Structure formats: structure tokens, C-alpha cells
Amino acid sequence: MTYAYDERLDGPLADHDKAAIVRDLQALLPDLQLLHAKEDLRPFECDGLSAYRITPMLVALPGTIDEVQALLQYANAHRVPVVARGAGTGLSGGALPLDKGILLVMSRFNRILEIDAQACIARVQPGVRNLAISQAAAPHGLYYAPDPSSQIACSIGGNVAENAGGVHCLKYGLTVHNILRVEIVTIDGERLTLGSEALDAPGFDLLALITGSEGMLGVVVEVTVKLLTKPQSAKVLLASFDDIEKAGDAVAQIIAAGVIPGGLEMMDNLAIRAAEDFIHAGYPVDAQALLLCEVDGAESDVAEDCARVEALLRTAGATEIRLAANEAERQRFWAGRKNAFPAVGRISPDYYCMDGTIPRRELSRVLRGIADLSAEYGLRVANVFHAGDGNMHPLILFDANAAGEMDRAEAIGARILELCVEVGGSITGEHGVGREKINQMCAQFNSDELTFFHAVKAAFDPSGLLNPGKNVPTLHRCAEFGAMHVHHGALPHPELERF
């Protein structure tokens, strides 16, 4: 599906002379790698949310911070929009390019600059893969905790942009909890350092502000992350359930008992079967749901917590409980979960991955709601999610070549996100808003809150050139879709509407 930029709702983008921009940049930055031929631009027309595609006007692949600064200064002076892109694994259309803008690809920034084992930090460029950080830290007995399922490919710059999590974020936190300092370049070419290697930094907490900002405030050029000592022991329990709601209730009981697992993941029968057929992890294919509960720490603590969790699972109605016999089996259990997305891709021509968060106590209610929506729209939904922190990833299976199925998939996805908001949750946990969820932002936030978001954007990017049309909807959009109340029929602060 080719995505059409909605100028009526998000404001028109100016036409630019592509050939003139190419000539200007080649003269200004002779060593800058520029792609502008149509066949060279095709690989960059979408991110992991491949249902939407736009061919960028041109692609720039800088290799130095000086090049990034000069390019952004040029874009600012000539009012050319810029979209920053990392590895392209994002799942919300956050790196979707613009046909009238520059796609700034940071993949050449792929060096680990420093591993300080004594301070337990790593200083890396934004194009470094998530998993590569842990691999580089491993000889020191250290690792980087956030582990998205795409960690073999996703880049740390993209993780900062989306505030990525992973299967172990319940205990160890999201990206925002595991970084100390970020260097960014603003649209006018200024280089800023946010945060510090100390536990706190003076001034406002702009490090938290930039994390999850989806490339709207600045371009990340360096990240300092925290490294943790590898746990002495880690054990995984696999529990089968004959009812998905029982599994949801078990999650709440484990957390209520004061056990904080390293990871607590849940899959329904459709996801179990797909993952087992793909990975052969040893999953029980007849189970209606399974939980993976990892407990880590000192040997004695792990043994005690495993016994507590096993007792809680039996009380909750688990039909079978298995403790991974060794490290190899533990890795197989996790491989099935981490490969659930591609596994589902093997059983359906297309799938649409959602990302919402809910209070844990609402797991059963939301699972029932998803089942009802699946029946209403006639599309299968595989549920795979970080159950411990309520971050759900329903995978909506459809065939884009079948008339109307793409539209139905988008409609059920929107309804699922709105259900998350209804029960007190959020429309995103780690994938970001991007273009995908921009309408649901109108359900999540009121007009005053969105006006404030636009004011923050204006403080960093007055002309609205960084990743326009993403993340935060205009109030006109929300009014158009009837999803929020606009004060007295008027839009407050209309000067902010250009974003």
C-alpha cells in the first residue's frame, strides 16, 4: 500500500527542486554519500511497517557529525524536511520518508567508541546494533539489558527514538532507564549533550524528553548506555494453560506476590503453534496459552523464587509447568518467543503488529475484547506480549491482496488501541506512534495536552522540519476525525497548527 501524505490534515509540504538540492549538497559536502536515482531510493521507502510506502526525494548517508550538522543547517535554511532513519526495523511508520524531503540514514555511525568496564558504561554511535553492545561487553561479564525481539538488527539510535523495551524490561526497564547521556544535533546544526555519566545532571531532564521523541526534536549522534553485570543464575519456567484468561490472571498473581521476574511473557495458541512450527522450541501446541517466566539473580534467590512462582502457577490453574533443564533449553524457550513475529509471518500473507499497554489487572478483559473484535472483523489475531508490564502485541493476520482486508486490519487495530485507552492504558508501549497511531493520539490526549506537545516541538524545531506529520496530530486532524473535544469550537494557539 502506498501511503499518501495527507496535506489537508497535516499542512502542505513545499515543492523543492531536487536537482538543485543534490547539486548544493554535493558542492557543500563533497564526501557525503547521496542517493537520488529512483532504483537506489526503493530500499528506503518504508520501515518495518511495510504496509505504507513512500519513495524519498533523496537519501543522505553521512559518516561524520560535521556532515550531519552541515546537512541540517542547509535543510533549515532552505526549509527542506528531514526524516532520520536507523536500521529501519521500526513498526509504526516512524521512519517513513517524505517524497518532498531528505531521508537522513545513520547506518554508517556504527562504531562502539568505548567500553568502560569499571564504570559499567558503553559509549556508542547511533547505528550500533542493540545486540552488538552486549556482545562487546560480554568479555567483561557485562551486558546491555533492553532486548527488543529485533535486537539482532535494530540500532541503538532507533531504540532511543522509540524508547524500546524487550522481554526483560519488566525488571530492568526500558531504554530511558538504561541510558545516561545522548548527544543530538538540532535542526539548526547545534550539537547538544543531554544527561551525563553521573546519576543526575543539572537542569531539566531533557534526556527523558528526547527518549521516545521519534526524531522530532533532534538527530541522535551518540549514546552512552548503562551496562549491567550478568546475573549469577537465570532459570525459565514454561507454564501451559487451557484457558487464556487463567494465564492472564496468573500474571497478576505473580506480581502481586512480590516476585519481579526478569521476564514474564505470554502467547496464545495461534502464536504458540506458529512459533513451534518455526523454531521447534518445545512448546505445548495444544495449550490455549503459555507463560514464560524467567527468574534471575543469586543461585539461592533464584531457587527460592522458582519454587514460589511454580506454586503460584499451579494455584492459577496451569496444566503443565516445566523448568528449563539447561541453558540450551532456556535459550530455545526464549527463541520461540523472540521469533514469534516472523513465525506468524509464515502462516499469513500479511500481519499487522499492534503495540498497546494496559494495567495488568485488565489482561483478561482486554483479551476477551480482542477475541470479540477478531470475530466481528473476521480476521485472526495472534496474541504475543510482555505480560508482566502489560505491553500487548496483538498480531492481526490478513491478506493485503484480498479486497478490503487491509482496511479491516487497520480498523480492528484502531479498535484494540482504543480499548487499551478505555481500560486505563496507552496506545504504545515501545513501538512509538509514527504515522500508524496518529489518529489514536486524539483518543489518548485532549486538546490542551496536544497543544503542549506542539509547543515542545516548536522549542526545538520552530519550522517543523524534523519528521513532520508523525507522532503528534494537529488539532485540525483530531477535530476532523471527531475524536476529541476542541474548546468552544475553536482551536487554541492556532500558530502551532503548522506542525
Average pLDDT of the segment spanning 63-86: 98
pLDDT value of position 13? 62
What confidence category does residue 1 fall into, taking pLDDT thresholds of 50, 70 and 90?
A: very low
Portion of the chain with pLDDT greater than 70, in percent: 94
pLDDT(157) > 50: yes
Of 153, 210, 149, nearest in space to 337 by CA? 149
- Do 402 and 488 belong together in one domain? no
Is residue 435 assigned to a domain? no
Instruction: Inform me whether the pLDDT recorded for 484 exceeds 70.
Output: no
Please compute the mean of the pLDDT values over residues 232-239 and round it to a whole number: 97
Do 225 and 242 fall within a single domain? no
Return the pLDDT at 50.
Answer: 75
Could you tell me if 449 and 488 are in contact, meaning their C-beta atoms sit under 8 angstroms apart? no
Position 6 pLDDT exceeds 50: no
Query: Can you tell me whether residue 49 is helix, strand or coil?
Result: coil
Residues in CB range of 351: below 8 A, 6 or more apart? 341, 344, 345, 382, 395, 396, 397, 398
Grouping H, G, I as helix, E, B as strand and the rest as coil, residue 204 is: coil
End-to-end CA distance of the chain: 25
Q: 374 and 327 in one domain?
A: no
Q: Are residues 15 and 92 in the same domain?
A: yes
Q: What is the mean pLDDT of residues 154-165?
A: 97
Q: Tell me if 479 sits within 8 A of 442, measured CB to CB.
A: no
Residues 390 and 455 in one domain: no
Supply the pLDDT for residue 381: 97
Please tell me the predicted confidence (pLDDT) of residue 51: 76
| 433 within domain boundaries | no
CA–CA distance, 391 with 166 (Å, rounded to integer):
10
| Domain-ending residue, one of 199, 214, 229 | 229
Provide the grid cell at 35: 542517493
Q: How many domains does the chain have?
A: 5
DSSP character string of 219-284: EEEEEEEE-EEPPSEEEEEEEEESSHHHHHHHHHHHHHTT---SEEEEEEHHHHHHHHHHH-----
Give a yes or no: residue 465 inside a domain.
yes
Rounded-to-10 torsion of CA 238, 243, 245, 250: -30
Cell 547545534, residue located: 190
Pair 243, 261 in one domain: yes
Residue 32 has pLDDT above 60, yes or no: yes
Return the SS3 of 404: coil
Same domain, 144 and 167: yes
pLDDT in tens, 237-291: 999 999 988 998 899 899 999 999 999 999 999 999 999 999 999 999 999 999 9
Per-residue pLDDT at 88 exceeds 50: yes
Q: Examine the domain organization and report whether 120 and 220 are in the same domain.
A: yes
Tell me which of 360, 389, 422 is where a domain ends: 422
Taking only the tens place, the pLDDT of each residue in 306-335 is 999 999 999 999 999 999 999 999 999 999
Res 482: pLDDT = 64
**Same domain, residue pair 27 and 86:** yes
The domain containing residue 261 runs over which residues?
233-342
* Inside any domain, residue 434: no
The answer to whether residue 430 is domain-embedded is: no
Assign residue 195 the CATH number of its domain: 3.30.465.10
Residue-level pLDDT at 432: 95
Stretch 356-374: mean pLDDT, rounded?
92
- Where does a domain end: 342, 358, 385? 342
Model pTM?
A: 0.92
